[in-house]
Amino acid sequence: MTKQSIQTVKMGLMVFSLFALVACSSTSDTEEGAMGGEGSSNSDSSNNGSARTNPGSTSGQLTQEEIRAENALRQTVFYFDFDIAEFKPADRETLSFHARDLAANSSKRIRLEGHGDERGTREYNLALGERRANSVLNYLIVNGASRSQIEVVSYGEEQPAQAGQSENAYSRNRRVEVVSR
Amino acid sequence: MNLRKSLSSFLVCSLFLLSFSANAELSIQITQGSDNPIPIAVVPFSWQGNGVLSEDISQIVMNDLEQVGEFSPLSRSNMLSMPSGEQEVFYSDWRLLAQDYLLVGKIDRTPGSQLVQVQYEFFDINREIKLAGEVLTGSVTQLRDIAHEISNVVFEQVTGTRGAFTSQILYVVAEYMNPERTNFRLEKSDYDGQRAQILLESVEPIMSPSWSPTGRDVAYVSFETDLPRIYIQNIATGDRRQITNYPNLNSSPEWSPDGTKLAMVLSKDGSPDIYVQDLTTNELIRVTDHPLIDTEPSWTADSRSIVFMSERTGQPQIYQIELGASSFNVERLTYDCFQCLNAKFLPDGVNLVHVRRETRQDPNYQIAVLNIETLRVITLTDTSLDESPSISPNGSMIMYATKFNGRGVLDAVSIDGAVRFRLPSTQGDVREPAWSPFLN
CATH code: domain B168-435 is: 2.120.10.30
CATH code: domain B37-159 is: 3.40.50.10070
Total-model pTM: 0.84
What is the model's pLDDT at position A85?
Answer: 93
CA dihedral of A50, A56, A60, A65, whole degrees rounded to 10: 0
Is the Cβ–Cβ distance between A96 and A47 less than 8 Å?
yes
What is the model's pLDDT at position B409?
Answer: 95
Instruction: Quick: pLDDT tens for B9-30.
Output: 333 333 333 333 343 344 556 6
Q: Does B339 touch chain A (CB under 8 A)?
A: yes
Cα(B2)–Cα(A179) distance, integer angstroms = 56
Best of A83, A126, A153 to mutate (most B CBs within 10 Å, chain B): A126
What ipTM was assigned to the predicted interfaces of this complex?
0.89
Cα(B22)–Cα(B198) distance, integer angstroms = 6
Helix residue ranges per DSSP H, B125-243: 143-159
Mean pLDDT of chain A: 77
Instruction: Quick: pLDDT tens for B230-250.
Output: 999 999 999 999 999 999 999
Residue of chain B minimizing CA distance to A156: B205
What is the model's pLDDT at position A41?
Answer: 36
Cα(B151)–Cα(B68) distance, integer angstroms = 11
- Residue A80 belongs to some domain of the structure: yes
The answer for A44, left when phi > 0, alpha when psi is -120 to 50, beta otherwise, is: alpha
Name which of A122, A130, A158 is nearest B267 (Cβ-Cβ).
Answer: A130
Instruction: Quick: pLDDT tens for B143-196.
Output: 999 999 999 999 999 999 999 999 999 999 999 998 889 999 999 999 999 999
Low-confidence ranges of chain B (pLDDT < 70): 1-34, 424-426
What is the model's pLDDT at position B33?
Answer: 66
**With 50 as the cut, is the pLDDT of residue A36 above it?**
no
**Domain definitions of chain B by residue range:** 37-159, 168-435
**With 70 as the cut, is the pLDDT of residue A24 above it?**
no
Q: Does B16 touch chain A (CB under 8 A)?
A: no
Residues in chain A within 8 Å Cβ distance of B271: 131
What is the model's pLDDT at position A1?
Answer: 39
What is the model's pLDDT at position A9?
Answer: 43
Name which of B201, B249, B363 is nearest A130 (Cβ-Cβ).
Answer: B249
Alpha carbons within 13 A on the beta-carbon side of A111: 13
Residues in chain B within 8 Å Cβ distance of A153: 226-228
CATH of the domain at A172: 3.30.1330.60
How many folded domains does chain A comprise? Answer: 1
Calculate how close chain A gets to B252, using CA atoms only, in Å. Answer: 7
Q: Does B383 touch chain A (CB under 8 A)?
A: no
Calculate how close chain A gets to B237, using CA atoms only, in Å. Answer: 12
A45: containing domain: 26-52+63-180
Best of B203, B204, B387 to mutate (most A CBs within 10 Å, chain A): B387
**With 80 as the cut, is the pLDDT of residue A154 above it?**
yes
CA dihedral of B25, B435, B221, B237, whole degrees rounded to 10: 70
Name which of B200, B249, B365 is nearest A126 (Cβ-Cβ).
Answer: B249
**With 70 as the cut, is the pLDDT of residue A175 above it?**
yes
- In this prediction, what percent of chain A has a pLDDT beyond 70? 67
**With 60 as the cut, is the pLDDT of residue A5 above it?**
no
The total number of residues shown for chain A amounts to 181
Task: Using the Cα atoms of residue B214, residue B215, residue B219 and residue B224 in order, give the sign of their dihedral.
Answer: negative
Is the Cβ–Cβ distance between B340 and B356 less than 8 Å?
yes
DSSP string, A36-97: HHHHHHHHGGGTTS-----TTPPTTPPPHHHHHHHHHHH--EEE--TT--SPPGGGHHHHHH
Q: Degrees (nearest 5) of the Cα angle A135, A136, A142?
A: 90
Instruction: Quick: pLDDT tens for A53-106.
Output: 444 445 567 888 889 999 999 999 999 999 899 999 999 999 999 999 999 999
Q: Degrees (nearest 5) of the Cα angle B327, B329, B335?
A: 110
Name which of A118, A123, A152 is nearest B251 (Cβ-Cβ).
Answer: A123
Alpha carbons within 13 A on the beta-carbon side of A127: 28
